[in-house]
């Protein structure tokens, strides 16, 4: 405890040293992702290829999420981050060398996407669980807002900058930049301490192998025996179920409903990115309401109403789609940021990585499920219906959440769940 208090006294220097490197690496990865997708597009011209690449990128999070989270709670988190960033750099370097020799093939692009996604599956729960060890509890919402702004910046900066690099210098430049930013992310980790939660079990390799299954099971039990946390997980899954298809269907909305071009698609997407940046910046400055769950529920209602705006858009009211996507991004920052801050504040530090990975894994699983429903339904009755469905579900969940005591008092239940979580099934 004394060690953690000592770290908290200088939390800004430690946290922002790591965060700056990770932010640059995130933007570099966005450029590479754009470059790979564009290369697959011009090489194959196949929508099936792009769909398969997207599926490859999602699967590791679904399959490896709980496994990666359990390891992150046992292994040295700083080492995991170094290995994850180093793996990305190594894969990109290999891809760059193959590309320079003019022998890059589609299957190699698939392998690169897969390995990068595997590294990301370990990176996400580790960095999120580390934040609560680096940042004072009362500052978590502001930091979440800052991260939301970074996410929005990625939506705005990565595509045009990636296109500029591709047009001016070729894909090699984008790959090289990704390698450099990954290395920049590693350097601060070599000199900055990330406090590690104390574990009850052995952390040697044999111990990890023997207890990994129990760790994953304990993570699921931890959530299942905490009603407020379980409700938050279910809501996160439902949000991803409806919003993932809503984002995926934007090109169809632009081309068929708005009768727009690729330029219009870029404007709509940039509207979302700008909204996330502004919402995240406001959240970082303001910090949200005292009850962070209330902030998140209000944000969710705003996301729903913004989806309705998108649904009402038409060729004669294109501005509604742009305004709606801006509002979705703006309110999404207030939905996701405070919720992540709550999870970082209430979940036991020794359980955080596996719990966050479990939530991320199950939420990601909803994306392909939603796409399987939304695609045929939109072909049958029109794409705008899905935005109205999304609006109804988001607003409905928001209103319902205010009448669920277990959810509304989640922040006050930090220790009340321990008896149930430790109970045997």
Percent of the chain with pLDDT over 70: 82
* CB-based burial, 144-171: b 16+ in 10 Å, e otherwise: bbbbbbbbbbbbbebbebbbebbeeeeb
Cβ neighbours for 151, distance < 8 A, ≥ 6 positions apart = 276, 280
Q: What is the pLDDT of residue 49?
A: 62
List, for residues 240-288, the tens digit of each pLDDT value. 889 988 887 777 787 778 887 656 766 787 788 889 888 888 888 888 8
Element of type H or E holding 80: helix 77-100
pLDDT single digits (tens) 69-120: 777 777 788 899 999 999 999 999 998 898 888 777 888 888 888 898 888 8
The burial class, CB within 10 Å (0-12 / 13-18 / 19+), for 13 is exposed
Q: Give the list of residues 6+ apart from residue 205 with CB closer than 8 angstroms, or none.
A: none
For residues 375-404, average pLDDT: 90
Name the percent of the chain in helix, strand, coil, to the closest 5: 85, 0, 15
User: 332-371, pLDDT tens digit by residue?
Assistant: 989 988 888 888 888 887 777 778 777 877 887 787 788 7
- Taking each helix axis from N to C end, the angle separating 47-74 and 106-134, rounded to the nearest 10 degrees, works out to 40
Q: Above 70 in pLDDT, residue 330?
A: yes
Residue 48 confidence class, pLDDT cut points 50, 70, 90: low
């Amino acid at each position: 405890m004394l060690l953690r208090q000592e770290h908290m006294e200088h939390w800004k220097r430690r946290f922002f040293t790591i965060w700056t490197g990770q932010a640059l690496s995130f933007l570099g990865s966005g450029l590479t992702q754009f470059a790979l997708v564009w290369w697959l597009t011009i090489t194959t011209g196949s929508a099936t290829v792009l769909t398969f690449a997207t599926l490859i990128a999602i699967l590791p999070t679904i399959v490896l999420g709980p496994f990666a989270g359990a390891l992150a709670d046992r292994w040295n988190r700083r080492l995991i981050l170094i290995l994850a960033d180093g793996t990305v750099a190594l894969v990109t370097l290999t891809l760059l060398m193959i590309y320079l020799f003019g022998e890059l093939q589609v299957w190699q692009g698939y392998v690169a996407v897969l390995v990068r996604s595997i590294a990301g599956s370990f990176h996400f729960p580790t960095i999120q669980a580390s934040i609560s060890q680096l940042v004072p509890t009362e500052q978590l919402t502001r930091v979440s807002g800052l991260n939301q702004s970074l996410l929005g910046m990625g939506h705005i900066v990565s595509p045009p900058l990636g296109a500029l690099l591709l047009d001016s210098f070729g894909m090699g430049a984008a790959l090289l930049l990704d390698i450099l930013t990954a290395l920049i992310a590693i350097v601060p980790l070599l000199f900055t301490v990330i406090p590690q939660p104390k574990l009850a079990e052995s952390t040697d390799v044999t111990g990890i192998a023997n207890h990994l299954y129990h760790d994953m099971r304990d993570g699921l039990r931890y959530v299942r025996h905490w009603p407020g946390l379980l409700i938050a997980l279910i809501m996160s899954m439902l949000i991803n179920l409806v919003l993932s298809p809503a984002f995926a269907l934007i090109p169809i909305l632009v081309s068929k409903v708005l009768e727009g071009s690729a330029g219009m698609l870029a404007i709509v997407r940039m509207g979302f990115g700008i909204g996330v940046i502004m919402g995240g910046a406001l959240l970082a400055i303001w910090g949200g309401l005292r009850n962070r769950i209330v902030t998140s529920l209000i944000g969710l209602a705003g996301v729903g109403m913004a989806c309705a705006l998108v649904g009402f858009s038409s060729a004669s009211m294109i501005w509604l789609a742009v305004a709606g996507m801006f509002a979705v991004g703006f309110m999404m920052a207030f939905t996701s940021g405070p919720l992540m801050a709550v999870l970082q504040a209430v979940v036991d530090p020794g359980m955080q990585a596996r719990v966050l990975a479990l939530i991320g894994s199950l939420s990601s699983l909803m994306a392909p499920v939603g796409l399987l429903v939304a695609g045929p339904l939109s072909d049958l009755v029109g794409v705008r219906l899905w935005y109205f469905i999304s609006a109804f579900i988001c607003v409905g969940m928001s209103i319902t959440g205010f009448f669920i005591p277990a959810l509304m008092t989640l922040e006050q239940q930090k220790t009340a769940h321990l008896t149930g979580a430790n109970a045997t099934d």
